[in-house]
Structure 1
Amino acid sequence: MKKNWLWPVMAAGLIVSACGAETVQQDGEESQEAAETTEQTETAVDSAAMELEVPFDGSMDHVHGMGYIEENGGLYFASHHGLKIHRDGAWTEIADQFHDFMGFNATAEGFVTSGHPDMQSDMENPLGIKRSADGGANFDDLGFEGETDFHEMAVGYNSGNLFVFAPQPNSEMETGFYRSDDAGESWQPAAADGIAGTVTYLAMHPDDSEMIAAVSNEGIFLSEDGGESFSTITEGEFGTAAFFSEDALFYATYDGEAKLVKRALSGEQQDIALPEMTEDGVIYIAQHPANTEQLAIYTAQGHAWLTQDAGSDWTKILDAGQVQ
C-alpha cells in the first residue's frame, strides 16, 4: 500500500484541523417592518464581509480547513496566510488579516476557528477559539486566548455547538476531548471511548450535536451519543477526512488509492467518483448549503476540485496551491 505520503503530510499539519433577539409583533404591519429590517441587516453583513475581500491570484499553503459560508455564498479556505475565497468562479482573499487559522469550521453565518494571529494583530497568541459572523471583520472570543491552539475542532453548522480535543491542560480543561452544548458558553469532558489511532480531524452534524465523526490513521469513527463512545465504520483503511450534511456523513480514506464515500444516516453507503489522483488523498470535504450536488474537496497535495453533479464531473480550482 502506498501511503507513505500520508503520515508526513499529517505530521506537517496539512491535515490537522480537526450565532438573536426575538421581538413580539403586535400586527401585520410591524411584522413586515421587522422582516425588512432583518433583510437590511443581512445585506449589511454580506456587504461588510465582502468589502474586506480583494482579488487573489496567487498560491496558498498549509490549508487547515475549508467550507461554504451560507451567509455570503463563498467557499472559504483557511490557509497559513489568512482566508482565501472562491465564489462564482473568482478568487478573493481577506485583506490585511493574515491569521494562521487552525481548526477552521465554516458555519451558516460565518466561521469558528483557532490558530495564531497575524503579527500585526493585537490578539493574543494562540487565538483560543474565535467566532466571526461577518467574514472575519470582527471576532467574538469563546475562550482560551493565549492558552490553547485547537487543531481538532468540530462545530455544528447550524447549532454552533462544539466538540474539541485539548492538546494540553488550560484554565478549564485537562488534556482530552470536550464538548459544548451551548455554542461555547460552557464545556463538559467527553470520554471518546472506542477511538483508535491518532485523531487528525473531527466533524459534527449541522443540527444534531450527538452525531460526531472522528478521523484517525486507523479509520473513521462515529459517535451518536455526543462523543462518549465511538464505533468504527471502516476496516483496514487510513482515515483522511469527514463532513456531515443534514442527511449523510461524507468521509474519505486511503488504502493504496483515495476513496470518497457518502454514508446515509441510516447506514447505507455509496462511493463517489473522484478525479484522477496519484499518491494523493482527500483531506477536506464541503457541500454547498443550497445545492447538495455541489461538492468541494481539498487534497494532501494542495489540489482543490469542484463538482456540480455529485462527482460525475470535476473541475480543478487549485493546482498544488495555485489558484485556477
Structure 2
Amino acid sequence: MMSKILFINTIILSAIFLAGCTSNEEGDFEVAFDNKIEHIHGIGYAGETNGLYFATHGGLKIYCDSEATRNYNDYMGFNAVDEGFYTSGHPGGHSDIPNPFGIQRSFDGGRTLEHIKFEGETDYHAMAVGYDSHDIFLMNPERNSELEKGFYRSVDEGETWEEVDAEGLEGGVLSFAMHPADSNFVAAATSEGIYLSKNGGNDFKVLTDAGHSGTAVYFFEDDLYYATYGESVKLVKRSVRNDDKVAINIPKMNDDGILYIARNPRNTEELGIYTINGDAYLSKDGSVEQWGKILNDGNAK
C-alpha cells in the first residue's frame, strides 16, 4: 500500500507541476476526444452548460452526454463560475496571450479569454473564485508588479487587492475554495488538513483531526465539501452555517485520493470527483449511492 508520505508528496507535485455541450459552429474548437487526459488542475460546471469541464495542460476537456471533447491552452487555478470560468496558466502554441496568463476569464466556453490581472507575470495554482460573486482569493507565489508574496483577496473582480494574514493556516496549500456568494467563507486543503475561514481569509481554523491531510475543497451553496486522506479516503459535506456534517459514500479507492469535487448547479443530484490516479466518477442519483466511472487512468470510458 502506498505510504502516506509518498501519497501526499504525489499530490503536492501534481498540484504544483501540474456546456450541455456547445455546438461546433466554429470549426474544430470542440472535437471528439479519444486520447488520454493528463495533468488536470480543476473541474467544474461552467456557465449555462451541463458539461463537466476538466482543465488540463492540454486544454479544456468537456464531458457531456457520455462524450468528451477538447480545446486548447494550459489551464491552472481553474474555477467555474455562473457565467463561465476564471483561470491562470500558460498559452497554447497558437495563442498570442503573454506567458504566463496571470488571471484570465472566459464567458464563452473558452473560445476567448479576457485579461483580468498580472498577464505575463504570474501563474496562479492556488486560487479560488466565488461562483456567483466572482470575488477572488489567491496565494501569490512571488512578488509581481502589484503584490508581494502572500495571500490576497479581491472583491471587485481583480481591480484592487487586499492582503490578508491567513493566520492559523498550516501546511503546504493544495487548493482553495470560496463560498459562491458570501466571500467571508474561504476553505483550504493543505498537507495538514482542511481549514475554514469565516472572515475572508484573515484567519483559519482547522476542521479535521491530526493525521488527516486535506486533498480537496469545494463549496456548493452553504455546504463545504472536502476530501481527506488518513488511514482511508473520506469525503464530507459540512454546513458553514451550523457546522452539521455528513460523510458521503464514495467509490472504492486503492492507493488513491480525491483531488477535485464539483456539483452541477443545473442538476443538483449530479456530483463529480476526480482522483490523483486519473480516475473520474459521476453520481447522478442525489443520494450518492451509485457512481459511474467516466475516466479510467485518464482514459475516457
TM-score range, shorter chain: over 0.9
Pair 1:304 & 2:292 matched: no
| Cα drift, residue 241 of structure 1 | 0.2
Question: Which amino acid is the alignment partner of residue 110 of structure 1?
Answer: G
2: CA distance, partners of 1:17 / 1:233: 27
Correspondences of 1:144-293 after superposition (within 5 Å):
144-236=118-210, 237-265=212-240, 266-293=242-269
| Cα drift, residue 16 of structure 1 | 4.9
| Cα drift, residue 73 of structure 1 | 1.6
CA offset digits 1:133-179 (Å, max 9, x no partner): 00111111011111100000000011111000000000110000000
Secondary structure of 1:4 counterpart: helix
2: CA distance, partners of 1:3 / 1:190: 31
Question: Whose helix proportion is higher, 1 or 2?
Answer: 1
1: CA distance, partners of 2:82 / 2:17: 19
CA offset digits 1:200-232 (Å, max 9, x no partner): 100000111111001100000000101111111
| Cα drift, residue 10 of structure 1 | 2.6
Secondary structure of 2:45 counterpart: strand
Aligned length, in residue pairs: 296
2: CA distance, partners of 1:241 / 1:158: 20
Percent identity (aligned): 47
The 1:3/1:143 distance shift into structure 2, 3 A limit, reads same
2: CA distance, partners of 1:251 / 1:72: 24
The 1:158/1:46 distance shift into structure 2, 3 A limit, reads farther
2: CA distance, partners of 1:178 / 1:208: 16
Mapped contact 2:24–2:30 kept (Cα < 8 A): no
Q: Which runs of 5+ in 1 are unaligned?
A: 19-42
Aligned mate of 1:140, from 114, 118, 143:
114
Aligned mate of 1:85, from 41, 55, 62:
62
Counterpart of 1:110?
Answer: 84
2: CA distance, partners of 1:90 / 1:46: 12
Question: Which amino acid is the alignment partner of residue 61 of structure 1?
Answer: E
The 1:197/1:71 distance shift into structure 2, 3 A limit, reads same
2: CA distance, partners of 1:322 / 1:48: 23
How much is the aligned-residue C-alpha RMSD, in angstroms? 2.1
Secondary structure of 2:227 counterpart: strand
2: CA distance, partners of 1:286 / 1:230: 23
1: CA distance, partners of 2:26 / 2:62: 10
Aligned mate of 1:65, from 28, 38, 42:
42
When normalised by structure 1's length, the TM-score is 0.87
The 1:17/1:87 distance shift into structure 2, 3 A limit, reads farther
Question: Which amino acid is the alignment partner of residue 246 of structure 1?
Answer: E
2: CA distance, partners of 1:291 / 1:82: 25
Mapped contact 2:53–2:62 kept (Cα < 8 A): yes
Question: Which amino acid is the alignment partner of residue 175 of structure 1?
Answer: K
Counterpart of 2:9?
Answer: 8
| Cα drift, residue 15 of structure 1 | 3.2
Q: Which runs of 5+ in 2 are unaligned?
A: none
1: CA distance, partners of 2:17 / 2:225: 16
1: CA distance, partners of 2:52 / 2:255: 25
When normalised by structure 2's length, the TM-score is 0.93
| Cα drift, residue 90 of structure 1 | 1.4
Question: Which amino acid is the alignment partner of residue 234 of structure 2?
Answer: K
- Whose Rg is larger? 1
Secondary structure of 2:12 counterpart: helix
CA offset digits 1:17-68 (Å, max 9, x no partner): 99xxxxxxxxxxxxxxxxxxxxxxxx9x955898631111111111001001
Secondary structure of 1:6 counterpart: helix
The 1:314/1:5 distance shift into structure 2, 3 A limit, reads farther
Question: Which amino acid is the alignment partner of residue 203 of structure 2?
Answer: S
1: CA distance, partners of 2:148 / 2:259: 28
Question: Which amino acid is the alignment partner of residue 10 of structure 2?
Answer: V
2: CA distance, partners of 1:194 / 1:91: 41
1: CA distance, partners of 2:6 / 2:68: 29
The 1:48/1:136 distance shift into structure 2, 3 A limit, reads farther
Question: Which amino acid is the alignment partner of residue 159 of structure 1?
Answer: S
Pair 1:295 & 2:285 matched: no
Secondary structure of 1:292 counterpart: coil
The 1:127/1:70 distance shift into structure 2, 3 A limit, reads closer
